Structure 1
Amino acid sequence: MHGQNALEKTNRINVLFDFYGPLLTKKQQTFLKCYFQDDYSLGEIAADFDISRQAVYEHLKRAEQVLEDYEMKLRLAARHDQIQAGLSQLEKQISELQPQARANIQMTIDLLRGAEVNT
């Protein structure tokens, strides 16, 4: 997979990893980090862990599937995206309000954005 599809897949896996990474095994976490965050090749990971490239590939595919399964069941990433879109829409709408009303509503939006980060 090359180009835009690879970038989209990498972004998706990284988002899912942010939500569900702690639920993976240590090996799955390590392989995903190496491949998707540190940009290691299958061969480099295989050499570092003294296993075959095929074994690395299978570990990665299984970890990706586990992340997707968690997202299908829990929908945390989808809900996060929906909340962020709603907050952005609110920010756009309040930009047209009087300054005092805008400040009060912006404080509420900031509070909600903070809740997303701290969960």
Structure 2
Amino acid sequence: MHGENALERTNRINVLFDFYGPLLTEKQQTFLKCYYHDDYSLGEIAADFDISRQAVYEHLKRAEQVLESYEEKLGLAARHEKLQAGLDLLETQIGRLPENHREPLLQTAKRLRD
């Protein structure tokens, strides 16, 4: 993977993995972690697991499809992204209030974000 699309793809898979990783098989989790978290190449993963690069590629693609399928059905990552955007907007709006009204609202926004 190269360029901006690769970075976007990596970020997307990492977000989906955070939400749905435990639903994957152990092998799928391991290969995704090696490739996306630890930045191993297909060849390095293949050598570590004594399988072909093509087999690694197929395992990764299948795991990615499973993650996308879960997101399509459950929408947890999209919901999380909307909530974070809403909290960003709320914090901006709070910042425009008179100072004596800001702190309790900022604390509430922080609790929601955590």
TM-score with structure 2 length normalisation?
Answer: 0.97
Instruction: Write the distance in 1 (CA, Å) between the matches of 2:59 and 2:100.
Output: 54
Match of 2:2 in 1: 2
Q: 4+ residue stretches of structure 1 with deviation over 4 A? A: none
Deviation of 1:13 after TM superposition, in Å, equals: 0.3
- List per-residue Cα deviations over 1:72-112 (Å, max 9, x = no partner): 01111101100000000000001111223211111110111
Q: Per-residue displacement from partner, 1:23-52 (whole Å, max 9, x unpaired)?
A: 101100000000011111111101100111
1:105 aligns with 2:105: yes
TM-score, structure 1 length as denominator?
Answer: 0.93
- Per the alignment, residue 22 of structure 2 pairs with 22
Partner of 1:117: none
**Identity over the aligned pairs, expressed in percent?**
75
Identify unmatched segments of 5+ residues in structure 1. 115-119
Q: How many residues align?
A: 114
Letter in 2 for 1:95: G
Considering only aligned residues, what root-mean-square deviation do their CA atoms show, in Å?
0.8
How many Å separate the matches in 1 of 2:18 and 2:62?
17
- What are the residue-to-residue correspondences of 1:1-119 with 2, within 5 Å? 1-114=1-114
Structure 2 stretches lacking a partner, 5+ long:
none
